[in-house]
Amino acid sequence: MDNIFSKSVKGRSGVDAGRVDEASISAIPEALRRVTESSLPELSELDVVRHFTLLSQKNFSVDTHFYPLGSCTMKYNPKANEAAAALPGFTGLHPYTAFIDEEAAQGALEVIYEISRQLCEITGMKRFTTQPYAGAHGELLGILLTAAYHRKKGNNKKYIVVPESAHGTNPASAAVAGYSIITVAVDRDGGIDIDSLKEKMNDEVAGIMMTLPSTLGVFERRIKEVVEIAKKYDALMYYDGANLNAILGKLRPGDVGFDIVHINLHKTFSTPHGGGGPGSGVVGVSERLLDFLPVPVAAKDASGRFILDYSVKHSIGQVASFFGNFGVILKAYTYILMLGREGLIDLSEKAVLNANYCMARLKPYYDLPYDRTCMHEVVFSAKRQNSSGVHATDIAKALIDRGIHPPTIYFPLVVEEAIMIEPTETESKETMDIFIEAMKEIASLAESDPEKIKNAPVTTDISRPDETKAARDLKLTCF
Amino acid sequence: MAKFTPHTENEIKQMLSDVGAASIDSLFADIPSGLRPASFNLPEGMTEYEALNRLGSLSAANRTDKALFMGGGFYDHFIPAAVDAISSRAEFYTAYTPYQPEASQGTLQAIFEYQTMTAKLTGLDVANASLYDGGTAIYEAAAMAVRTNGRSKIIIDAGVNPVYRKILKTYVINQDVDIIEVDLRDIYTDREKIKSLLDDRTAALILQTPNYFGIVDDYSDLFKLCDEKEITKIAVFYPMSLGILKTPGEMGADIAVGDGQSLGLPLSFGGPYLGIMAASKGYVRKMPGRIVGETVDRNGKKCYVLTLQAREQHIRREKATSNICSNQALCALRAVVYLSLMGKEGFRKISLLNLERASYLKEKLVKFAEIKQGVTYNEFTVKLNGGAGEFVKKMEKKGYYAGIPASIYFPDKKNYLIVAVTEKRTIEEIDKFADAFKSAL
């Protein structure tokens, strides 16, 4: 589709900005004025609305397509969440209101306080901060808290341990926080290799980052041993909440001995992904990290008023301008209120049931490197299809032709030709059956007519893009 | 209780039988019984109606009925209805990151157009697909500088939003990076002090205009000095002001960062907002976050993809240019729709209108209050006779959020009140505000 600038017509405008006196510019000396043009396009409101509406129709989305994207928890985003976040008492609230008069922001502070308490109960942690804007941002905060903890104790720590199956954000966040990375292998069971961990642990390890269930979609059976090893070296345990959707009401990281938890509210707690964001990566901590949390934290005083609490003794500072992505937090809060205790347990149970169902039905057709009960997602491999020249990416593209968003492919890196399927709990058996039939058909075509798969997609607006050209002949703006 | 799982009893039975499991609970057998939750004490679920009622009363417990003359980097601008209409299209907001280009051309093209508009607005060559907010964007810009020239000293003017400076300092607590904050002379950039600090150990100089106190400045002279010592020049900007004010590019900045809240995002108690980053061409491979590029498909048709992914964490892991993964894509969509609606003339006008309304208030206040000298845009500083903290409480009772007491971040500036005026404040409102202001003095 033509870009928006090519639709521009000189002199057209989409909004009446209001009456303005051109002479007002005199308040700004010429030397401080803009000389170059902003080059913004000139369109009517209808032009703009039509352009972006047509663009939206070129997307696959949860509301329009099954989206079994492993690791991303593309569940249905209830509309009540959106309605709650759009309430004028929230959207119109300036963040500084709370700094000037807490009384004037009681509703907002209560939301932050309440969701923090609920998340404490859900995860078994002591206190939450809502500042982090996304999962990786929560990871960064968690590792900064780790650094502050060790510094206070006078520990000399240099390393963060990360299993090789971890999301790329884990090592990247630890590096931003000033640590070097020690990578530990995965064992044949899909869990962290305890022997390799023992071998690599040393006094300079500051923390161990774990995803639980692991990114291979299986439960870490030896997690208690990992916690014991960490304790021996005074290393903190970090829980990456990317896969929390599998275990609500079944296990709480705090009970297991984790010190830091981040939760992707945009995964487990149903806030939409927005085409890449905004998310929220709220962080909860154990007792020993309470004194380092960023400030302010929402608290409740003796009289039941909600206040900004700055009394964190060794606070590391702040990682967000105010209270994080408050609009996102509202959506998650609405969701938790609606589901309640039973609903949260139910969602994890159905998420795990759905993934196991997909696993059982697809096992005859695709390689399954870790053949055991899975949690909320299952990782297959396209290795069997490789013999006819068909790769995971081809299977993904063939699914697009069948009206299904592809699963995550080529992650986790420890599985060759990975196809990672996370149906989520909100999908029905019929929808999964359609997906399963599509996967079966693709597997059979991969043998009988592989070219058909390698040419996919053919039903979309565009065929496969030339990514090499995109990186070589960089074109990053319309003009 | 609202419920979003569609399973019927019958289906559960069939699925369990296909799985070969006796019960749903047996699927959790890998979790040792000793690790089951010590407690999971949450209230019973609500119906949608009950939940929205509850949220309705919480929303009503916030006071948003007062006229806002408060900014501090985050402003009460008007948002055209079409912005909400587009960003609430589920095809946009329930989609994931566009890793599958054939199924995401809508998001990809919208980001590509956003990149174009933010680059043009700031007067630089390229922009990324968004960062979290203005403050984290400053850190990312500083990190780009450190990666580019291998130095470790960051000089930042204290006129840069104090909230952003706090974020920057927190990010580097465990890094070998020195953050040197240069105190203001009153509310103005201390040029001599900055000049004396620029040396060949300096990685970056970070300056903001208008600064936290509203002062509009041209930093071309300081940036020129940076060139001699190969220091990365980072300008922090306020998007709305760029309809009329000199751009970071025109001042010679290498990297421009700012918060895009003013471009169609509600105040929403601090987020979600939008970290905008633009840069000159030479920095593109050092940029953090996602970048959309144009290319062609197998049939030669123009299309868009995420590009230069070798910079990113999912490929490069600990060697990535940043740890960022999720960004603020939907906020960037709102910004590109906002800018498209405004268009070239509309945006210049709305930008000018902000200046006009603020100048109008300034003229009123100057008759009975001390307004700090200097060129300002839509925010300026008033020096009161007493504490600004008490003053805003008085004004709150009169129905106004009169500004930000500078003492929240500058304890020595107790009497300074930072007042903002946007295009949403009518002449009548400003007149009444000025009267109330006078009587509260």
pLDDT digits (tens, 9 = 90+) for A370-391: 999 999 999 999 999 999 999 9
Contact B97 A294 (CB under 8 A): no
Residue B387 is predicted with a pLDDT of: 98
Distance in angstroms (rounded) separating the CA atoms of residues B441 and B439: 6
Distance in angstroms (rounded) separating the CA atoms of residues B37 and B39: 5
Residue B41 is predicted with a pLDDT of: 96
* Arch. (CATH architecture) of B67-77+343-440: Alpha-Beta Complex (3.90)
The DSSP output letter for B124 is -
Determine which of B15, B49, B62 to mutate to test the interface with A (most A C-beta atoms within 10 Å): B62
Q: CB distance from B409 to chain A under 8 Å?
A: no
Contact B330 A12 (CB under 8 A): no
Chain A residues closer than 8 Å to B299 by CB:
463
Topology classification of domain B81-338: Aspartate Aminotransferase; domain 2 (3.40.640)
Contact A278 B86 (CB under 8 A): no
The DSSP output letter for B386 is S
pLDDT above 90: residue B2: no
CB burial class (10 A; 0-12, 13-18, 19+) of residue A189? middle
Provide the shortest C-alpha distance from residue B87 to chain A (in Å).
9
For B420, list phi and psi in degrees, rounded to 5. Answer: -120, 145
SS3 A251: coil
Pick the CATH number of A346-454 from 1.10.260.40, 1.20.950.20, 3.90.1150.10, 2.30.40.10: 3.90.1150.10
- Flag whether the ipTM exceeds 0.95: yes
Residue spans of the domains in chain B: they are 67-77+343-440, 81-338
Distance in angstroms (rounded) separating the CA atoms of residues A80 and B50: 11
The answer to whether B200 and B406 have CB atoms below 8 angstroms apart is no
Nearest CA in chain B to A224: B35
Peptide bond preceding B210 in cis form (omega within 30 of 0): yes
Nearest CA in chain B to A250: B36
CATH (residue range A80-338): 3.40.640.10
Residue B9 is predicted with a pLDDT of: 97
Contact B113 A147 (CB under 8 A): no
Average pLDDT over residues B10-24: 98
CA distances from B101 to A107, A114, A461, B288 (A): 41, 39, 10, 20
Distance in angstroms (rounded) separating the CA atoms of residues A387 and A446: 9
B162-171 and A135-153 helices, crossing angle to 10°? 70
Contact A330 B218 (CB under 8 A): no
Provide the shortest C-alpha distance from residue B181 to chain A (in Å).
16
Provide the shortest C-alpha distance from residue A107 to chain B (in Å).
4
pTM of this structure? 0.98
Signed CA dihedral, B286, B292, B293, B295: sign only: positive
Nearest CA in chain B to A45: B341
pLDDT above 90: residue B1: no
pLDDT digits (tens, 9 = 90+) for A249-307: 999 999 999 999 999 999 999 999 999 999 999 999 999 999 999 999 999 999 999 99
pLDDT above 90: residue B38: no
| Residues in CB range of B163: below 8 A, 6 or more apart | A318, A321, A322, B72, B73, B135, B409
Average pLDDT over residues B139-147: 97
Residue B386 is predicted with a pLDDT of: 97
Residue A216 is predicted with a pLDDT of: 96
| Mean pLDDT across chain B | 97
Q: CATH 3.40.640.10 in chain A, residues? A: 80-338
Chain A residues closer than 8 Å to B54 by CB:
337
Q: Which residues of A286-302 are buried (b: 16+ CB within 10 A; e: fewer)?
A: beebbbbbbbbbbbeee
Nearest CA in chain B to A191: B30
| Ramachandran area for residue A194 (φ above 0: left; ψ -120 to 50: alpha; else beta) | alpha
Chain A residues closer than 8 Å to B123 by CB:
36
The DSSP output letter for A210 is E
Contact A27 B355 (CB under 8 A): yes
Q: CATH 3.90.1150.10 in chain A, residues? A: 346-454
Q: CB distance from B76 to chain A under 8 Å?
A: yes
Contact B60 A107 (CB under 8 A): yes
Contact B166 A21 (CB under 8 A): no
Residue in A25, A274, A336 nearest the CB of B329:
A274
Residue B305 is predicted with a pLDDT of: 98
Nearest CA in chain A to B95: A61
Residue in A276, A426, A460 nearest the CB of B5:
A426
The residue ranges of chain A whose pLDDT is under 70 are: none
